[in-house]
Structure 1
Amino acid sequence: MSPTNETYESLNLEPKPIRPHLLAAATMVFGEDGETGRRETVTLSGLAQFNTWPLPGFEHHVDEQGRSSFDVELISAPEIGVKGYSHHLEDRVQILTDPSRSSRGRFRQVTPGTNLPAQFGLDRFGILETSILRLTHRDALQTRGVVDGIPPFVAPLSAPYPDSPLGSGPFNGAVANGFLPVTNLPVAWYPADDENQPVGDTPSLFLVPSPVPFMVVMTDPTMIMQVSLEGELELEVDGKSVTVTVSGDHRRAAGAEILLFGPDKHSAGEGVQARLARLAVVGECAELGGKVMLRVSWTRPSEGTLGDGDETSLSRVRYPTTLHVDASVELCTPDATLYADTTVHLAAKLNSLEATGTELLLDGADAALLDAENEAAARLTGLRLKVSEAHIGETAPVSM
């Protein structure tokens, strides 16, 4: 078939679901007022399942302009959804698919007769849960973007914006292909009844437009490590050395999530790539005003490696070995978010993938923590985090 006359039938797609590991972030405003409420960007991740053509019940279309498209649906199931930890709520937050309303869309050619890149559009309905809240929304979350492949998995260390900018924006440049923002923000969330219908006219939360709106990207890791952590941060605040005892429980969507990508999942040759996708460890620091949380940046991926670099698959990693990560960290305080001015190198000696007992250490130079005016408000001078519990698997169900 001529490249100028392609349809998606030429891809010979298998009739099976797409099951990516989603990485996501959302800027949330808590309370009744989307303008003045407490604002926080929450990093999330989890399993999704998209049923698509050529599965039964889904169609392939060619319009009058010769533009090919096919149907897609994000399904609802107990294991499907994204989860993260809110510093403000001090709680797990998860966004599930509403089983009572269909979340459907399409892959569609950008240029008639050329399969890729493709437009992706999905009108999604969700349920947002914490330990005490269960919320829903009235209008669909209109997810729109451009993807370079089908399935639309991005490279393991992809960033949403050019040059992986520091801070909370605004950022220059368009969102990278593969990153799929919700385009009709703000969206208000209301208490949900037993049939997932919104109750009343007073919202409890908003997803709002920002440099980091509600945005997802699809990845395809070989293995996922979800770990609980406990340990210490070493800070310097106003010239004073401060030790902060911190912890994070992966069952509450805190701790850390590390994605491992064998050579068949990336294009950099041999070796295993690693991404510290989420981090949330929390403790008290009177010098910074109270409860603080160390996390990793959404806009600047925390990337690394596992092993010696010559492995032809994850199963070929020889233990004991070292996990290395150049982490882009941020410190949430009661009044502000502070951003490390450079990556910090973290290292952990692993005797196996079952990482319980492993220590993750700051190995190298410290980093200034900058405020919104790019002034140094503190320094991160040390970090020692011990894995107290680990769950290792090919998927990360939100229900876990």
Structure 2
Amino acid sequence: MSNTLSSNESNPSGKKKIIVLGSGPNRIGQGIEFDYCCVHGLLAIKEAGYEAIMVNCNPETVSTDFDIADKLYFEPVYWEHLWEIIELEKPEGVIVQLGGQTALKLAKRLHEKGIRIIGTSYDNMDIAEDRGRFSDLLKELNIPYPQYGTAYTADEAIEVANQVGYPVLVRPSYVLGGQRMRIVINDEEVEKAVISLLKHIPNNKILIDHFLDRCQEAEIDGIFDGTDFHVMGVMEHIEPAGIHSGDSNAVLPAFNLTPMEVTTMEFYAEKIARALDIRGLINIQFAVKDGNVYVIEANPRASRTTPFIAKAYGIPYLNIATKVMLDVAKLKDFTMKKQLKGYAIKEPVFSFDKFPGVNKELGPEMKSTGEAIRFIKDLRDPYFRTLYKERSMHLSK
């Protein structure tokens, strides 16, 4: 046991404080895009009159610069460290929506300790995170979704897969970047996928979804303040279904979906945000096949595309969303005029040259290490045409 320290470098102020949780070290599925979210969140907190406290341990991020937050705790984003900080600072609450999945996973511990979570409540976030609970909600709302079932063993998974119909997507709950997700086509592959999954993530609940092959994927990022819902952006993926959203080239706004399909997506997104009583940000993933719109999943937090949309449209969405979470402003208080002329394409960035032994084939498990933004005037742009041609060739196989 280490000796108890007799001194403390941190002297709490008498101001009202808000703690923002960062995303920790950069990793596949979660990186610099969430640092953008945290920085703009911290600035919004200060504008709202609170002391902004940042908890993160990544020296490569702007959020850990000494002049961004009022106070920085350069500590691992783990419960043991966070709890000591909370006991000392006694904040008004903690924001978990801005730091990706790492921050969101601490919501349960905060809730159990009675610490106020700024924005969406823990239980409503858990409904979105728990694949089974979320599918049950979609059923109640009469929103289409791929047939699914849950299992805890390989035998149960095989039984469920036969019920929902092959091909199926086998995935664990509460994971980052599509970790251990697999698309499988028969009982043998299900068994192999489940055994591998449980070996790496023991006791995890396994979700088996019917995989909608050859469908179009799209997503919506939005903000809900309890009264009004604002669609930040509708993004359409160029790559076909089966490739993780983080590895897809995505176009803003949608380029090939019909007006009815886009309107349906927006209608479902608002319906879900209201049912979950979201306060702040939500990201919803869709699959569109034969004119039908299906909801795949919802993320009750900032997504990796939130900064992309904010930059493309020139709107400070993270500042707005944070003030909505703090309940110091409503969406009607802001003028949000989208300034994009043409289209913006989210390009995934891969680092395969740094990891020559890694399988370069893309699938439901994310492999990109970042993203870039490319602006085009119209769909005749050579870069876009090349990407779309590659998609067509893939679908024709």
What's the TM-score bracket when you normalise by the shorter of the two chains? under 0.3
TM-score by length of 1: 0.27
Question: Which structure carries more strand by proportion?
Answer: 1
Higher relative contact order (Cα pairs below 8 Å, separated by 6+ residues): 2
* More helix, by proportion: 2
TM-score (normalizing by structure 2): 0.27
